[in-house]
Amino acid sequence: MSSQAAPGSQKIKVVVSRHLGPDVMPLLLDRPELDVVVWPEERACDRRWLLENIVGATAALVMLSEKMDQEMFEAAGPGLRVISTMSVGYEHIDLKLAAERKVKIGYTPDVLTEAVADVSVMLAFMASRNVRETAELVARGDWSKTPWAPFVFCGPQLSASWINTTRTAGFIGLGRISKATLARLIPFGFTHCIYTGNPHSKPNLEADAQTAQKYGLQSVRRVGLDELAAESDVVFVLAPGGPETRHIVNESFLRKMKKTAVLVNTARGTLVDSDALAKALREKWIWGAGLDVIEGEPDVRLDHPLLKESRCVILPHIGSATNETRLGMGTLAVNNVLAGIQGKKLPAELDT
């Protein structure tokens, strides 16, 4: 698809690696000054197609699936001014190279915060309340085989109760989505928040005290990974992907967790060692897990070790999958492209 640039015209080329639907695409296609080239298929963009079509582009609007590495930058050529990714993550983009070549990077934070926080809280309760086992039992028509009994399907209560009047939420990374998740947990009786910070940042006791006061928590503390594992009733994995955080949740971490605790990953699959998690669930080191992402997704076959664990709820990366949020992400990604072409500061620009 192309907005029919006349040969020899001075149109500005924008390459788009995925059709963004009838509400978003016109924001680009209706601009006569642009030559918009869009990957024409209903699946992830072929790298070969992108390498061919990024040639001479001023802007590239891409998804998480497109690796923007040296080969891609060189294919684009020196005219590339902006890469706009429709994602909050940017581990697929070589930021150092972008800085060297003065290519601005746009991303889509904030607009997906609420939708991902919704799924994070939902997965925490799905993992703790045996939802996979119980929902599959009903779906198989077997409810009558396991009727009500005083303690059937029971497990530890994640929310506060007459027995556990305090509850601790742990976060690997305390960014925007973590804070929105934390806010949602307060009326469930959560009283404490612990988190691990970016190792490149310094602790900020004042900010922690402010967060505690804002949410009415008894405490908010930055801790090490060992303490996070040991003290949390639920651990939310909400840090960026990439080599620095790969398998941050590994066998050692999982062994330190409470037997009653649940793990939730709505960030990137690479952060959690799937084999270690399967072992932890099989051997009951932890109570359950709720995953929206898995390393190697979407190639998660029937023989994947996590699929066999009935205490593991797995969703196919739908954290931000609502009409409102994806529309917001698409619109912001387009606005980043348009600002980048005009040499303006992007509405959501990464510091590179």
> Which residues are tagged catalytic?
317
Q: How far apart are CA 233 and CA 98, in angstroms?
A: 40
Name the residue nearer to a copy of itself (CB basis): 83 or 333. 333
Structure tokens at 196: 């691990």
Stretch that binds a copy of itself, among 6-14, 90-98, 128-136, 248-256 (CB under 8 A): 128-136
| Min dist. Cβ of residue 24 to a copy of itself (A) | 8
Structure tokens at 291: 């995953």
Q: Are 341 and 82 in contact (CB under 8 A)?
A: yes
Short-list 269, 271, 243, 104, CA closest to 172? 271
Residue ranges in 312-351 that form contacts with a copy of itself under rule CB under 8 A = 313-318, 321-328, 330
Name the residue nearer to a copy of itself (CB basis): 103 or 289. 289
Name the residue nearer to a copy of itself (CB basis): 75 or 327. 327
Check residue 114 for interaction with a copy of itself (CB under 8 A): yes
Residue ranges in 205-264 that form contacts with a copy of itself under rule CB under 8 A = none
The SS3 assignment for 230 reads: helix
| Min dist. Cβ of residue 347 to a copy of itself (A) | 13
The SS3 assignment for 331 reads: helix
Residue ranges in 148-167 that form contacts with a copy of itself under rule CB under 8 A = 148-164
| Min dist. Cβ of residue 297 to a copy of itself (A) | 7
Structure tokens at 288: 């359950």
Stretch that binds a copy of itself, among 29-37, 89-97, 121-129, 227-235 (CB under 8 A): 121-129
Name the residue nearer to a copy of itself (CB basis): 36 or 103. 36
By CB under 8 A, name the one of 144, 216, 259, 345 that touches a copy of itself: 144
By CB under 8 A, name the one of 11, 13, 18, 92 that touches a copy of itself: 18
Q: How far apart are CA 235 and CA 195, in angstroms?
A: 9
Q: In what order do the strands lie in the sheet with 312-314?
A: 219-222, 192-196, 168-172, 234-237, 262-265, 288-291, 312-314
Residue ranges in 61-90 that form contacts with a copy of itself under rule CB under 8 A = 63-65, 86
Check residue 15 for interaction with a copy of itself (CB under 8 A): no
Residue ranges in 174-193 that form contacts with a copy of itself under rule CB under 8 A = 180, 183-184, 186-189
Short-list 128, 125, 153, CA closest to 138? 153
Stretch that binds a copy of itself, among 41-49, 191-199, 230-238, 262-270 (CB under 8 A): 41-49
Pairing mode, strands 104-106 and 219-222: unpaired
By CB under 8 A, name the one of 11, 132, 268, 311 that touches a copy of itself: 132
By CB under 8 A, name the one of 51, 97, 248, 307 that touches a copy of itself: 307
Stretch that binds a copy of itself, among 39-47, 67-75, 77-85, 195-203 (CB under 8 A): 39-47
Q: Are 102 and 76 in contact (CB under 8 A)?
A: no
Q: How far apart are CA 341 and CA 248, in angstroms?
A: 38
Q: How far apart are CA 211 and CA 183, in angstroms?
A: 10
| Min dist. Cβ of residue 131 to a copy of itself (A) | 7
CA angle 304, 306, 307 (to 5 degrees): 70
How many chain residues are in contact with a copy of itself, going by CB under 8 A? 86
By CB under 8 A, name the one of 92, 129, 222, 258 that touches a copy of itself: 129
Question: For the range 64-73, what are the long-range contacts, defined as Cβ-Cβ under 8 Å and sequence gap of 24 or more?
Answer: 64/89, 64/92, 65/17, 65/92, 66/17, 66/92, 67/92, 68/92, 68/93, 68/94, 68/98, 69/94, 69/97, 70/94, 70/97, 73/97, 73/98, 73/101, 73/103
| Min dist. Cβ of residue 199 to a copy of itself (A) | 29
